[in-house]
Chain A
């Protein structure tokens, strides 16, 4: 009970729970449409989804300021690539929240004549840019870790006691022929294995990469760049919300900076 109260008292945590509920409604709605369930139930589910979406927009009203503050903090990072990716991602998020606030004002009637479609597309575009930069940052961190591992392995193999890996390497080169595609395939498998090992040893990075990969399908679908349908979008949204909630419950799983 105490941990729920503490979790709930964070504004972001509530927003993530409602996000999970909203995408569950989307997923449920598409399942009900496919199974041709009663239109009443479909209407309730879609109304609930709209209600949660509007309330989340209300809850996000001050978030541009937080995103700008996060961008200010990111400017002081030492690594150039990380600094660039994270700062621009936060700036894009700030623009996304600003567009989102305008949409909320339009939906509640404060701004009477608003082109909802135009502003919606604008907000999703900024969201997509932010996600692309986040994924770029994840890939960069994976590359850094892979480099580190390679260097570690090469320093280990340069020591004279460690003869076996050399033997294995020399034996593999002694294997006859191996056409270039097969060699490429072997190299690719080895690379995949290394990437898998790196991600397995870095759960925060793995979670963040999974979350961003799931999230990216949402704006891609909404902008019409890669249409997947409400069922897939709902599943991706639900999965990324659950991962965010897990990150909040266990702060050590949050990727830093």
Chain B
């Protein structure tokens, strides 16, 4: 035995260790791969040995090789062996290796669960620490589910070292196993107040990460973070908190107002640049969220801009870069303040660092005004000439076009100039943005009628000089696309061409065949248009020579296209050949066909709205997904798609509408034209055609006057005679810098002054009208009815983390614990069905059981658990690890239930706090808002709502001690609360349990109520249960009375359950401050019901109420007394009528038109929404609940999405969008004219939808 050991040691001494390996690799630079493959072989033999030290050494070497790029995934099992070593030295190496090469899909990971659990629970702090850090790298969904509870346990460890690592790991757990978030969150929140700053900061980190992705669920934490922010001096943590606030403020402008002051203080005081930068960013976010109404609003903006200027002027490139980045954020909302620093930005354009130049470019985009656009573009063009590298040049080109075209050419006053810019841009070599230029050219030609002639002229020149544009360098660029635009424009507006025949000649000539197919197709098609135009004019002038010439030209050249390899070209060409031959034949007979031919192409071209295609309503009974015929082979379609490049509309790929194919009937056209003319006549901004002087002569005069003044750059070989050049605009507009030309400039200016005074024509010229209509839409469709969509990718784990944390925890929401494998498997199935994990040990499914029983049982299980724990502790830690690890399926139940049970109670207790904090937030944010919902509540319900902020403070202070005493406290509460209530109102208890009051629900008796509720059959959705005893059952329904202001009709139905007749029913309903009943006798609170109830009979009575404020829920207390025949005394039942805000809504006035008008009008300023990730209801059920229970009307319903509308008695509008996704994911977005009403309505709907779960 000893001999073998010694032998092993000797062998080991000859092994390579890590240092040897590294050294070896460095010494074998030439033959590295050979050396390493040799090492790999050695490692493989080492791994086969029994000695763990050898194995660990091998794994360490593998880890190093992995970094060099070698695959070591084959060694996964060996890595796990090393990880499972009881020695920290080896364990450390094993975990390091695992964290480097395992990932969530690594198969061997499923073997590690129990080993990692053992490590997490190890008595050695560093074992657990290593396991925590390792797990953070390779955690998978299964590991997260199985280990969530162990990580949670570590949160309460006595060692801060473990607490903080566990907190950070929780984030990864949530990402992989979102169900853990809700049960774990209370504990995580507690860590914000941890005595150790490291743990605190870790908790801030995690919550900040969570909140940034789904901010709305974390709003209620704002007060806690605010306190931390104002008290902490830890910059690392401050940055995170401030970042978190940056995410929250867009949702709650009031929060922003509160933040401004401390943030500006920090900006003034801090010396840490990172903190300063973060503060500025958040201040910007705040300022964006609060649009106005801030007194020192401007001061903060100024402060930010000032500080940013300092950053930008700093010599540190990093600060410069970030300064520009932040500046561009301010620009969006406060362009004025940034424009003052134009000099600085232009200066940055000359920076050596390309990334800084690009940032500056971004800024320029927003700094453009009508006055500066020409100068800025000119500067950019000069930059472009100088720019090295096509990437940056392309970026510049794109920016120029973006700057000019933004907001429907908002800043362009002179479109001839813009067309010239575009033409100039065509000469940029090797650009990838040919398509962009082309679409701009077409856009301008179509929408700016005034420069159409000019544009057409320029395009004709472009076509004529196509060979220059499509030079040798064109192969790598997309510049040929501009020819597409040129051909189309010339064809479409052929009547504006100076010499159509010449253009046609230039189109058929030369290298057209070498162009891409889709451009050739456009060429061919537009030849026909030109041809038609030429024929028509020639026929009028009886120019038969011309006709013949043109016809022959086409017949001669078209065969080239007919034999094209491109299907589209071929098809179009052969079609045109036949048309032309037909025309030729007709002419031979002496027939005139020009007019008929022209008819092929007539029709005004109107812009079509980008969303038009999407909005075409689906006709009834049309199923677009159904096959009409059997699926065809797809190859041809693909080819077609490739042909249709998006040139008309650049953004929307689904929209590929070929405009020239749209041929409305003559009548329609006439109607449209008349309508348009009428509109133009009444539009004062539209330049009337009579007043429109042709820009052409004017342009010529400029040309003649100005061209000699500027030196023509002879280096540019691309100058095309007659083609526009930017230079003249430069001079005309006086945008020249530098002193040397000043005299010239002055001269020019004076000259121009003279011109301006003498002619108003130029003014008109500069005021080109852009057709900026949204474009044509199908009937009945509106642009506006679009809601924002969650644009995160489908697989983003944060989508699943959009979980409301303010909802009280339901008892079945606990972290899963380990069970027998069979149970585990079953659970998995369950989780598939319900998307919720219900551990089978916790017997929650038993519905009716009294409290005592439950308590007993709990204690029992606790005892059992303790025993189990004792048993568990007995076996030594050195038990056969490998066995345990390889065969986890045989595992038995180990005591893990204690933390779960604690957590369970913890959760409920915390749910109460949550309820408080969400109310707290409102209170905290606006103390002046006295009319919060709680303050209107009846006094007895106040137990759950906060009275002062100090109470919440106390609450948080006592939290630390709470955890331990929680159980005890909870029991006491259970005992105390009902007693108190009994004193108050004995009979109330009966009705309470079936009441829907959520405030009561959060009292100590919550679990009982929830369970009992399950046992009671739900009443009809529209009528709610008011009260019930052994003799009588009372239900009620409410309806808002249309037409009668503020009146609510309550219909109360009495159902006898007694065997004897009931008589002398009397309702006592005293008015509350906000809700009054309309009575016959205003003095009396009594309502006598003039009838009696026979056994089994039911009768109704109607009462009317008026409400002063319909934006908040109301309730009314009262009682009913009656006498049962045979008994001498009367019986009493207490009642409580509830009026959730939806009571005051009515959907009767809903119509699609008003709905869309409302949405587009912008009146609906308030927004709110909520999400139920696991809605147990089907979509129709949800709709039914919303329409019956929520008294809203469905306006439109498509698939699983519906729009609903309701109008309150006071005229507030409420619009809802209900989206139901396949995975039972329900989202309701609301918009309203009244924020409080909306949030109350959504709260109510949410609780009703949740309650039935």
Interaction A to B: no
Binding site for B on A (CB under 8 A): none
